[in-house]
Amino acid sequence: MGALRVWRWVSGTWRPGFGAGVRRRDAGFGTEARRRPQPQASSKSKDPAEDQPFPGLLRTENLGVEELVDVLKAAVVDQKGPLVTLNKPQGLPVTGRPGELTLLSVLPQLSQALGLGHGELQVVRAPGKEASGLVLLSGCPQTASRLQKFFAHSRRSQRPTATYCAITDGIPEPSEGTVSVALKLERMDGIDLAVPVASPSRKDILEGVKRTLSHFHVMATGCGCALVQLQPLTEVTSQIHRLWERGQSFLVRKNSWLLTHLSVFPSQLQVHMALQLCPVLGDHTYAARVGTVLGQRFLWPATTTKPQTQVLDEALLKRLRLSPSQVAQMPLHLHLQRLLLPGTRSRDPPSELLAPVPSYFSRTLQCLRLSQK
């Protein structure tokens, strides 16, 4: 994705430092999104194309334990002693209820498959269920602690260590900048959703409201969509995760890493892109907050908007070669592509880990003629 950009604080916002060029605005933004009518029942036989799975998507929920371990073993991108880095498939939850197939539930079998013996792997860093990308695992508590101190220090110093890439429906304007907003998790119809909070008070902060910050940079544009680089800079506290795991307190007790080891507020990047009126492709939760009238986009109130299948216009569907039923299966196009790790010695520069994007992500890039630089 290229070198990290240098940012400086100017007039209450982050801006690129000297030598960091800014791309010109793309005039192609503003494709109208129309709500597609629901198909009516028919006695005619259904088109087989309507039942086709989403191209290039691995359905991890259809795998058994041994199959998932084989997939994760093949997804290892780096292994140095007790530190293992793998490229997590989209849709695989890191944790879950007892009996559910998750990354944590198969760590003992994965440790054996990787030849780590009885060393117990623990999660150091991981993207959420709906995102794909780099996961850090460690079988050494000292190594895990050192990495967490590095990540915490980097967040306090406002130095991003994680770089995501996303494909958005719409092109952010301007093409480079920062999104900063306070968020809280609010229970709506049995689901915890991230909701913006205007001017949060001290009491709000104590009750779980978090000020979130993300840098974004448009890398390429095409067909009314954009390839966007995203770098979150939000430190998540235990109050946030207690809200996130509401009704699942047993998970918090059993998986204490949840309280400290995730570096992004739940759904932060999806919410930030929706606030830019450019939801991430495959976001069936927050894209509904973006409406369109006469080709102009606007935000619906977050507290009154329910999740639904993302609506894409006919031209984009044709470009992506997707049927309407496949849109409902479209995975979130959000990938943790790069992580910075501390050097061997304190004065050494950080090392870099990279993970290739999934097959479905590559297919979408090709269909939209978006090229990564």
Distance CA 55, CA 323 (A): 11
* Residues 285-317: b if buried by 16+ CB within 10 A, e if exposed: bbbbbbebeeeebeeeebeebebeebbbbeebe
| pLDDT band for position 371 (cuts 50, 70, 90) | confident
pLDDT above 80 for 102: yes
Cα–Cα distance between 311 and 369 in angstroms, integer? 21
Per-residue pLDDT, 200:
86
Write the single-letter amino acid at 145: S
Q: Which two tokens stand for residue 72?
A: 């994760």
| Range 225-245 average pLDDT | 65
pLDDT of residue 153: 83
Q: Looking at residues 243-262, what average pLDDT do you find?
A: 37
Please provide the average confidence, as pLDDT, over all residues in the chain: 79
Which residues, 6+ apart, have CB-to-CB distance to 311 below 8 Å? 33, 34, 35, 36, 287, 288
Query: Which residues, 6+ apart, have CB-to-CB distance to 20 below 8 Å?
Result: 5, 6, 7
How close are the terminal C-alpha atoms of the chain, in Å? 6
Q: What is the pLDDT of residues 301-348, one digit of tens each?
A: 998 899 999 999 999 999 999 998 899 999 999 999 999 998 877 778
Q: Between 28 and 47, where is the model more confident?
A: 47
> Of 47-61, 74-88, 250-264, which range is least confident?
250-264
Higher-pLDDT residue of 311, 159: 311
Question: What pLDDT does 232 receive?
Answer: 92
- Give the pLDDT band (50/70/90) at residue 43: very low
pLDDT of residue 112 exceeding 80, the answer is yes
| 216 vs 4 pLDDT, higher one | 216
Domains of the chain: 58-367 (3.30.2350.10)
Whether the pTM exceeds 0.95: the reply is no
Query: Cβ-count burial of 236 within 10 angstroms (0-12 exposed, 13-18 middle, 19+ buried)?
Result: buried
User: From the centroid of its chain, how far is CA 293?
Assistant: 28
> What are the backbone dihedrals phi and psi of residue 358, each rounded to the nearest 5 degrees, phi first?
-65, 165
